[in-house]
Structure 1
Amino acid sequence: MMKRFVYADNAATTQISPEVLDAMMPWLTDGYGNASSIYKKGREARIAMEEARHKVEKALGVPQSRPDYPVEIYFTSGGSEADNWAIKGAAHLMAPKGKKHIITTVFEHHAVLHTCATLEKEGFEVTYLPVNEKGLVTAEQ
């Protein structure tokens, strides 16, 4: 009898789709240059990264980045870095307007909680809402 496997940790790591694997294989095997470097493989990686950025921009309907226009799509190393950038970016954007209050939950990923704790040290007010037994925030909170 074959045992059925259920994977329930997609929030941490998700199996790569076959289409993504096919698209990435050349870069994982031959084109592994550092996109910030000036050597040939690095320049090739940079070109590929910019092409990927334009594809994402097009898919999301945002203006394509170019030298005279700010980049709208940023690639991060993973979810924790993305959480950090998003929260700090929004907080520092709103702070000059006098909006220095962040509301989150006690149940967030540590990347969110650590970023909020850092912002508290910078003078932001952070409210940590509790969640109910289903992991939800209720209107009363």
Structure 2
Amino acid sequence: MLVSTAYAQAAGGAPAGGFELMSFLPLILIFVVFYFLLIRPQQRKLKEHKTMLDALRRGDRVVTGGGLIGTVTKVADDEVTVEIAEGVRVRTVRGTISNVLAKTEPTKGSRDDKETADAAPAKPETSAQSAGVKIGKMFGRK
């Protein structure tokens, strides 16, 4: 016979019934990397989006999830009415607002009025000034 018989050797490397941390260390390391690179930034982004939606108010220029740009005319609990053109209003779910382009100053009597109570009262604008401001805001100017 040219081939010798092979006998199985007894495994002597791992202790019987013991728990080795080194075998789970790569899995723990992968989870830690995923947490800091994927899970944590996503949670932070969701939190910022929620605070942005909670601060949404009438007069803000927004972008919807579908790419429509418009001005918020009415804010309800779960839906927002956005005016995308003069006389064209669209009702959308609050969560589909993806970005706020321009924030407006709080109006008198709004819930944000308490924060700005210490500020000086604004001067009344003439109709020509307010029309110029509206046109400027329409094109993204302040």
- Higher Rg of the two aligned structures: 2
Of Structure 1 and Structure 2, the greater helix share is in 1
Of Structure 1 and Structure 2, the greater strand share is in 2
The TM-score with structure 1 as length reference comes to 0.22
Question: Which fold has the larger relative contact order, with Cα–Cα distance below 8 Å and residues 6 or more apart in sequence?
Answer: 2
The TM-score with structure 2 as length reference comes to 0.22
